[in-house]
Chain A
């Protein structure tokens, strides 16, 4: 019995190691290509072991305004979007837990129905463009489809229901606190785990979103990092075209477009890699709580 289990353990380790290598291999390829000289990439293709280390691509990223600018756009949108959507989501979730609130059933249905039926892309696109005129405004990156989702409301509501003791709220009311005071000073501080969970999920959504930019943005000033990557993949010379005229004039032939793309991709996923260890626990909680109904 014991012997058989050693065999199983070894096999399990082996399979998991193979899977981990399969996950890490393309990432390593990406990072190594970003560190290779452009001429090597063209001659030998993307390889795992660079013939020599060359950081020209990274120097272009930090020397050139447009990558940095896209980065700032994405950071700003992610920060603002996450904060606003966490506030909006927690507020309505709290309302849905108030006992005896008239019309609560109707309100839950109003929220839930958005999960069941959707108008889809065409009507949404036409509405945002023709009624709200958000094309080429910062609103296009913040608002459509990202700000608030019924799913996050459901998991937040069930957290509030199970983890906020009613007695505390009652005694605060007796002490004369306003409902907003209770919400911001008592309920939210008691809800750090769920705020971290949905906050990280929202931040991830904003950071990784590129479709809003694809649909609504043509203005270069408003291109975020994912959209920039997208443009670079479909048009290898995208960045070199948009670079400062002075830079192109001096160095046009030397701009490393292939390794530069890879370097921008590395920089584009870096913040989430760095945040991931701190939020992994909450992120995993969010994934499991999602299936258990709110």
Chain B
């Protein structure tokens, strides 16, 4: 009796498990094995010992990592850049979305939207080419066509730190504003037009409408997105921080993030242990942040919580 029931169950659901199998195997290999591989942070890796069998060295890797200046620099950079992206990115996206939403001409709205969305499709390599065409020391547009005609000294961007905090934020906004404003645009279209009509009858002007109706209606989205990006505050776009500054050593203090540190360490066998420790640090702190922020989202707007 139970046997035939189990058999029926398998016949009925078996095909579904088979459909799920390829993705499950993939996740096991691509995601779950490396989670176990985090043990590398506590090892002195040797080829013969492999990932799981090398000599255990306790917390030595972490001790070396946090005694170096790098740990502080990369943590500071990663967090500050992410905060800047959040603050400036969110404000700019909302303003752009609002302008697009309020434009009467649908044709020009479409054109603007298509244009500003476009950089989001480019790979970061192409973006670094574009940046290079503008910034290059000997042939760049800024040096040759703006500074030179004004009689100013050429600037060597790739070796002067002071430009990069601004440049990296600008490039990020340049690339991502079109993408992130779409979400705000969708939310703005969902606001009840009756609210605006009522406000107009009461004689409210455009600015009052924006601050009293549009913005408050967007607050749940803003909060949810910000909380989600706090969960990712230990991660950075590797290409933006590694490739756009052309992997230049002179400006490392303002371009090093945890991701670039991990990669640089990995490519240099002497730093393997510290790289693994930094990777562990990123994964574990990142996980705690995701759990913590998800708890916040669940409190604030449960329908947006991931689980």
Contacts and interface: CB of A to CB of B under 8 A. Distances in A.
Interface of A: 4-5, 8-9, 12-13, 15-17, 19-20, 22-24, 26-27, 29-30, 33, 41-42, 44-48, 88-89, 91-92, 94-96, 98, 101-102, 107, 109-112, 114-127, 130-132, 143-145, 147-148, 150, 153, 178-180, 183, 204, 207-211, 226, 229-230, 233-234, 258, 261-262, 265, 268-269, 272-273, 276, 280, 284, 287-288, 291, 293
B69 interface: no
Question: Looking at chain B, what size class is its interface with the partner chain?
Answer: 35 or more
B37 A121 contact: no
A153 B139 contact: no
B26 A148 contact: yes
A226 B224 CA distance: 34
Contact of B129 (A89, A111, A233): A233
Contacts of A119: 31, 33-38, 279, 283
Contacts of B114: 280
B13 A101 contact: yes
A209 B136 CA distance: 24
A233 B221 CA distance: 39
Contact of B174 (A23, A46, A269): A23
Interface of B: 9, 13, 15-17, 19-20, 22-24, 26-27, 29-38, 40-41, 45, 47, 50-51, 96, 99-100, 102-104, 108, 111-112, 114-119, 121-126, 128-134, 136, 138-141, 143-145, 174, 177-179, 182-183, 186, 205-206, 221, 224-225, 238-239, 243, 246-247, 259, 262-263, 266, 272, 275-276, 279-280, 282-283, 286-287, 290-291, 303-307
B301 to A, nearest CB: 10
A9 B103 contact: yes
A130 B34 contact: no
A9 B108 CA distance: 11
Q: Is the interface of B mostly helix, strand, loop or mixed?
A: helix
11 contacts: A46-B134, A47-B144, A118-B34, A120-B262, A120-B282, A123-B34, A208-B123, A276-B118, A280-B117, A284-B117, A288-B183
Given A131-B51, A143-B30, A268-B126, 14 more contacts: A8-B206, A9-B102, A12-B102, A19-B96, A20-B116, A45-B140, A91-B19, A101-B13, A120-B282, A122-B276, A123-B36, A124-B34, A230-B243, A287-B183
A91 B141 contact: no
Task: Across the A-B interface, give the 3 residue pairs with the lowest CB-CB distance, nearest first.
Answer: A123-B37, A119-B34, A45-B144
A102 B27 contact: no
A29 B31 contact: no
Contact of B125 (A33, A114, A130, A229): A229
B133 A12 contact: no
A211 B133 contact: no
Given A4-B205, A112-B307, A122-B266, A148 B23 contact: yes
B133 A30 contact: yes
Given A27-B130, A127-B33, A16 B99 contact: yes
B30 A144 contact: yes
A111 B26 CA distance: 10
Contacts of B225: 291
Contact of A124 (B37, B117, B121, B179): B37
